[in-house]
Structure 1
Amino acid sequence: MDHLILKVTTKLLFAPIILFAFYVQFHGDYGPGGGFQAGVIFAVAFILHAFCFGLEETKKVLPQRVLVVAMVIGFLFYAGTGFVTMLLGANFLGYDSIAPNSTHHAGQHYGILLVEWGVGTAVASTLLSIFYHFTGREPDIDQEDW
């Protein structure tokens, strides 16, 4: 794509989109939002980058191998938090067991942050991986044959 205005606009919007994803991520335990929404917003920044600069350039910035590792790490954050609470004697994702002596439920805060971070990481990397696979495949029919 040789549209200068779109490229400059994408470069200007990329960082604020990522920043907004982090805002939604860390504001999720106090209000609407959280890991899933933040993961989608984060993925959208890279999808916008791919639309303007091409899939290969985006894969240089964020390779498929990194996405696979991020999917696993996101799942491990989520499931690991649940298993830690079980090892501490509570139910799966029973966050109060993380900080049992807290009078203001600090375990809830820590647990939700860990779980939402895992969900956000897993969602963003999964969506980008799906996007990479769909946009990177060869078309079945040539454009001239339509």
Structure 2
Amino acid sequence: MKDFPIIRVVSKLLIPYILLFAFYVQFHGDYGPGGGFQAGVIFASALILYGLVFGLEAVQKVAPPAVIERLMAAGVLVYAGTGVLTVYLGGNFLDYDVLEHHFLTDYHVPSGQHLGIFMVECGVGITVTAVMTMIFYAFAGRQRAI
């Protein structure tokens, strides 16, 4: 894409807005349409656009495959850890009501339902971003069969 400077410039201008929109969808997904899955795909699309325009090596410098592999596991751990925490606190798996009684006594923070959903959606967003990026790495890095 070095022969197409307009595409490179427009991509550099659009990627920050794509990332900002992904964060908007992530953090407002519990109030309206959206959430972790949609935000994860949008965030990964910014990385994929960067990779398509500037090359696989460039995007792998920004988001190394080793980091992406760890993020896939970390997102699942955040999701499952939220459920295990609710069981540990005496509720059912992903029963967010117990979070309110243990963490939200004198602070001005959201209810247990809101906190639990937020934690789960963050885990989903991290996992989806990492998996979609790793799928792009797998397809973009394959060699042509002769």
TM > 0.5: yes
Alignment root-mean-square deviation, CA: 1.6
Aligned partner of 2:140 in structure 1 is: 135
Aligned partner of 2:71 in structure 1 is: 70
Aligned partner of 2:46 in structure 1 is: 45
How many equivalent residue pairs?
Answer: 141
Percent same amino acid among aligned pairs? 56
Structure 1 residue runs of 4+, over 4 Å off?
none
TM-score, with structure 2 as normaliser? 0.92
Give the distance between the partners of 1:30 and 1:112, measured in 2 at CA. Answer: 11
Give the distance between the partners of 2:35 and 2:92, measured in 1 at CA. Answer: 22
Gaps of 5+ in 2: none
TM-score, with structure 1 as normaliser? 0.92
Give the distance between the partners of 2:125 and 2:27, measured in 1 at CA. Answer: 10
Give the distance between the partners of 1:10 and 1:130, measured in 2 at CA. Answer: 21
SS in structure 1 of the partner of residue 100 of structure 2: coil
Aligned partner of 2:55 in structure 1 is: 54
Residue 100 of structure 1 deviates from its aligned partner by 2.2
The amino acid of 2:119's aligned partner reads L
The amino acid of 2:21's aligned partner reads F
Counterpart pick for 2:117 among 96, 112, 121: 112
Aligned partner of 2:93 in structure 1 is: 92
Gaps of 5+ in 1: 142-146
